[in-house]
Amino acid sequence: MKGKFIVFEGPDRSGKSTQANLLSGYLEQKGLDVLLTREPGGDSVAEEIRKIVLDPAHKVSSMAELLLYEAARAQHTQQKIIPALEEGKTVICERYTMSSCAYQGYGRGIDMDIINKLNDIATLNLKPDLTLVFLMSDKYFAERGEYLFSDRLEREDEAFRHKMRKGYREIAAKTPNAVIIDADRPVAEIHKTVLHELVNYSILDG
Ligand code: TMP
């Protein structure tokens, strides 16, 4: 691929969106052509799937949930991300395959082999050049408050969120090109770390 593919991962409210926006602005100022997008969504079909899968009014089985995320991922990756990378754009995506491993694998208990297989099918094996995994400490996570948890996944109980967050740590440690970012720190400091990692991974010049 001509362009670079950067993924922002982590639990809800870990500051991914803020950092993705900051990075996108920074790269655009440097003259790069950037596509800032997200999962589930980023395309009209995938945004419709997003509404269904996140609607608290629905009761969704674990496997149906996984397949909905994978359907959205197939559409988004194949219709938007791959063409953008082929055009030489830098693609920044909030969430990607690691979210399914953490939420549906660790959180729901679905067999990781099934998830990995579906991820490969949905993405045509497209792997990120860099995955930044934003993790905050337990204390800080609790402080960010239940009041913010509003969609169907965010309403899952503490046990689910604990498993999902443990999952992120374990998966990040064994995924090539993945880095854990300490998300407890001030926004500007985290942004600096993000830029530093882009240099480390030869996405930006030092
Ligand atoms: P967002 O709030 O970060 O946009 O993500 C929507 C929710 O979907 C979030 O709670 C995480 C969840 N999710 C999964 O459970 N599996 C997935 O594969 C993806 C992409 C998101």
CATH architecture of 4-200: 3-Layer(aba) Sandwich (3.40)
9 within ligand 1 shell (Cβ under 6 A): no
pLDDT, tens digit, 9 for 90 and up, residues 143-202: 665 545 578 777 778 889 899 999 999 999 999 999 999 999 999 999 999 999 999 999
Residue 77 CA, ligand 1 centroid: distance in Å: 16
Please give the average per-residue pLDDT across 90-108, as a whole number.
98
pLDDT given at position 64: 98
What span, in angstroms and rounded, lies between the C-alpha atoms of 7 and 35?
A: 12
Q: What are phi and psi of 13, to 5 degrees?
A: 65, 25
- pLDDT, one tens digit per residue, over 50-74 is 999 999 999 999 999 999 999 999 9
User: Ligand 1 centre and the CA of 160: distance in Å?
Assistant: 13
pLDDT at 143: 64
Q: Domain boundaries in the chain?
A: 4-200
How many A from CA of 36 to the centre of ligand 1? 16
CA of 12 to the centre of ligand 1 (A): 8
* Nearest-angstrom CA–CA distance, 27 and 30: 5
Q: Give 91's strand partners.
A: 5, 35
Can you tell me which atom of ligand 1 is nearest the CA of 103? 15
Q: 123 in ligand 1 pocket by Cβ < 6 Å?
A: no
